[in-house]
Amino acid sequence: MKDLALIFGFAVALLSGTNVNAMPSAEQPADSRNRIPIDLYIVRLEPPVKVLVVPSKEIVKIGKFADSEINIDCKNFEGHPVYSLIYIRHDMSLNDIVDSLCESFDVEGIEYHEDYITEETFSKIFPSFKRKL
């Protein structure tokens, strides 16, 4: 019965789109502790709009914009109509970011992934933030 509960929990985690390999920091292998946790939000449009949030570095990236807070008032973003202000902060909750993106792009749901990147990858994505490493 205990094994069945573990299998069910694993299946739910896979279907939820979260990273099953995420472990508390004390249990992470040594190489994972040197990585930076990230959150990736994907607005399911064609082409998709991707939002990268790096809470530990206080950075949000959408398109060519990267800062601790994104506040874009436009009618069109990367070829997609925008229905309300695109507003995302590095410290917003998952639900707040999803709600904001759904409202901005008038979509029903957002794809979400948790992962890690290396400091080298971070430096390539955010070259102007290298000094903060």
Q: Nearest 5°: CA angle at 5, between 111 and 24? A: 60
Q: What is the pTM of this model?
A: 0.72
pLDDT per position in the chain (133 positions), as tens?
A: 433 333 333 333 333 443 333 334 445 554 556 799 999 999 999 999 999 999 999 999 999 999 999 999 999 999 999 999 999 999 999 999 999 999 999 999 899 999 999 999 998 888 876 544 3
Q: Given this model, what pLDDT does residue 48 score?
A: 96
Which 3 state secondary structure label does DSSP give 126? coil
**Closest to 106 measured CA to CA, from 61, 44, 53, 40:** 44
Q: Are 72 and 65 in contact (CB under 8 A)?
A: yes
CA distance linking residue 125 with residue 105, whole number of Å: 24
Please give the pLDDT value at position 47: 94
Q: Is there a cis peptide before residue 47, judged by omega within 30 degrees of 0?
A: yes
Closest among 88, 82, 41 to 60, alpha carbons compared: 88
